[in-house]
Structure 1
């Protein structure tokens, strides 16, 4: 499905992409690199564990091949480094990118700059849904990204901490505020929040606007592009007011702007916070800080007082691409074929705590991902807002403005004014 001039056609990710069970996977590439071609693949990603697991399996399946990988565990530094490498002509053969066009290293942003190789002729292309293609194409409709994971955004719970507190997940907006009050009375934190890692600032608004904006009105972004509405004129205002209300109600830990993602995950894992409004993969990161036997689950974050209104934001999470100037393009294509295979998808998804984007008979779902499959099956899921925004400035303004909101230097309305100005520049 084509995206032209940053416009989108509204589509929903199919539930089969999330559950991905009992389906035939792609064939796994084995050591058939053509004679005379390089056997060294250069690679970079943000987030080491899942990528390294796939690299290990790929090298085992392709004897004689070596993957030289570099990793960054911070998205912002990775994105900055990748852009610098691409500008200087020193980028690796294969690298991680983001779906849609929401930031400087997203599919459409890099694809429109002719920095990514076309993937239209790959064998796995037919396994993509229309929704996955929509966030994996450049503005001309050429496929340049391989979706690897699907993630949702909701309240990720430490089940044992929740049980010990004697509380249950809220199902309405009023119950969210009551839940926060009850958690405070029990001497614990309802939701760990780490805004020092700027990318986390957007997750609460995305969770709320899924129900308030994009679920009821899937064409909202198109209307913005047509000049018919703005963030400030929409239920985005309600969502931003609710975010501020949660802060005032004591829903979060003290000084969120001084807390990073790792500290947020420590609180969730250790149970000093009952939950965190995060992507589904957060549970896998929190596990490293949790006691043996700790389990995690996820529920949507409600934004109204009618549970039937609630939607869940679900989107392709991680994508990979081939450098348009790759030194070893054929080996890069072989790696991407493996990454698209049933085995490759299952390895990456399992290690990252997400669901595979493509069919994988090797993947087993768990309780954190159960809500994603449920809400997709019911048609109550929406894409992440930023994947169809017309330029990376909107997300950048959003991230910075939320931090200022929590410093009490601007109002929710001013956050949206700045986002509207950035949107109009696209």
Structure 2
């Protein structure tokens, strides 16, 4: 699931929200002289990124920081273009791995990321993180969160319908029925927002594919396996079965991410299949909700269940930044123990660079346990060879829900996209 310039056109401006922390510094530095850095982040990370910026500003009162927020689709389309045009932000969300146009690999190949190998955070970063932050031995992003994709439940809504979080596929379908009898849906689904379309698939293939074939993507790359002849078929079948069984709200293709969050916050939905970062968005609307995140079961054997878990939020540095020193200071703060703990405490995620002083949010207790036990698998697109595969996945899920393709057609399209770009 997981996981985000400065000069914007009128249409794009309507899609962005900006929060600016400015003003004269207490040391007397004039606004004209003070360094000004721009940070562009994903809307799903609004709460944690603003918390980190506020703390950074307290320690660096002479630095002005402006945060611009954009949704995933806008970021992935507009950020690379703005960077190429020399109009990008100083620091910005970058996706780990290689799966989309704003990923570490894609941006580094276009020389749109500054190398960060010499920064202090790189000394304590786990080796297991480097495959999604490094390119050809150099580090090009500071990883901030370890997130997951799974079922986020409102404990109040579960109690209202008399249910408990399911651990098997049969229990999951039964809970969909129970929720419906109580006038709710089990899961809010906002497939009008393109990046949301992938999440249920990822949550299911973690078990139907990667529990038994952790190197599935490598085998597909070598031509040894295909999407069509793998557990991806079972996952897509189950995704559609959930829809037909009434597990989701009506008209998912006409429901946005924001509307899905509102359904959970208002109690109309028991939960949502989302990245862990959505916890902060739900809490912002309904601070009193007791939320818990669990793996989405795909079989009737709980021991088989896996959860997608990986580095999610990461940030890169614009090599053309006019305020490089101040931007590097912010990058360093994101990689520090204080920055990591603050970002993840307010975002209900786990530090990508672990440290003993962090206290895990109860909402993601299972994520932490699975991270330690080794029952998580990387986000699927982080290992794909090209952004085109993820875009094909978005399109095929939408087509499945629109009824304009079937599972055979969707899997063939994924195989075709992989072959053309591997």
TM superposition score normalised by structure 2? 0.89
- Which stretch of structure 1 is more off in the superposition, 323-332 or 409-418? 323-332
For the residue of structure 1 that corresponds to 2:237, the secondary structure is helix
Alignment pair present for 1:176 and 2:162: no
Within the candidate set 47, 50, 62, 1:49 is matched to 47
SS in 1 for 2:138: coil
Residue number among 359, 366, 375 corresponding to 2:354 in the alignment: 359
Deviations 1:28-76 (A, max 9, x none): xxx9xxxxx972223222223322221221121013111233222x111
Deviation larger for 62-71 or 140-149: 62-71
Q: Secondary structure of the equivalent of 2:319?
A: coil
Asked if structure 2 preserves the Cα contact closer than 8 Å seen for 1:304 and 1:310, the reply is: yes
Q: 1:38, 1:331 within 8 Å by CA — same for their partners in 2?
A: no
Which stretches in structure 2 are left out of the alignment for 5+ residues? 1-26, 28-32
Are residue 261 (structure 1) and residue 260 (structure 2) matched?
A: no
Cα distance in 2, alignment partners of residues 215 and 86 from structure 1: 38
Contact 1:342 1:361 in 2 (8 A): no
Q: Residues 192 and 253 of structure 2 are in contact (CA less than 8 Å); yes or no, is this contact kept in structure 1?
A: yes
Contact residue 117 and residue 144 of structure 1 kept, 8 A: yes
Within 5 Å, which residues of 2 pair with 1:50-89?
A: 50-72=48-70, 74-89=71-86
Runs of 4+ in 1 over 4 A off after TM superposition: none
> Counterpart of 1:11?
none
Q: By how many angstroms is 1:295 displaced?
A: 0.5
Contact kept? 2:279, 2:347, Cα under 8 Å: no
Distance 2:51 2:376 in 1: 30
* Equivalent pair of 2:350/2:368 in contact (CA under 8 Å): no
Alignment of 1:13-412 (within 5 A): 39-47=35-43, 48-72=46-70, 74-138=71-135, 140-290=136-286, 293-361=288-356, 363-412=358-407
Separation (CA, whole Å) in 1 of partners of 2:36 and 2:162:
55
Per-residue deviation at 1:78?
2.3
Q: CA deviation at 1:261?
A: 0.7
Distance 2:415 2:178 in 1: 36
Residue aligning to 1:26? none
- Please give the alpha-carbon distance, in whole angstroms, between the structure 2 residues aligned to 1:285 and 1:362: 25
For 1:285 and 1:43, locate their aligned partners in 2 and report how far apart those are by CA, in whole Å: 19
Higher alpha-carbon deviation: 152-161 or 354-363: 354-363
Ranked by relative contact order (alpha carbons within 8 Å, sequence separation 6 or more), the top structure is: 1
Greater mean deviation of Cα atoms: 353-362 or 245-254: 353-362
1:34 corresponds to which residue? none
Matched residue SS, 2:101: coil
Q: Is the partner of 1:82 in helix, strand or coil? A: helix
Residue 254 of structure 1: how far off its partner (Å): 0.3
Task: Write the distance in 2 (CA, Å) between the matches of 1:63 and 1:285.
Answer: 28
Q: Deviations over 1:207-255 (max 9, x none)?
A: 1111111121111111011010111111100100100111111110100
Aligned partner of residue 249 in structure 2, secondary structure: coil
CA separation in 2, counterparts of 1:187 and 1:54? 40
The 1-side partners of 2:125 and 2:270 are apart by: 36
Alpha-carbon distance in structure 2 between the residues aligned to 1:220 and 1:255: 33
TM-score (norm 1): 0.88
Residue 169 (structure 1) shift: 1.4
The answer to whether the 8 Å contact 1:194/1:259 transfers is: yes
Q: C-alpha deviations, 1:95-151, integer Å up to 9, x for none? A: 11111111100111101211111111111102111221110112x231101101111
CA contact (8 A) 2:360 2:368 kept: no
CA apart distance, 1:409 = 1.1
Inter-partner Cα distance in structure 1 for 2:37 and 2:372: 39
User: Does 2:417 match 1:422?
Assistant: yes
Alignment root-mean-square deviation, CA = 1.7
CA contact (8 A) 1:38 1:328 kept: no
How many angstroms does 1:360 deviate by?
Answer: 4.1
Q: What is the aligned partner in structure 2 of residue 25 from structure 1?
A: none
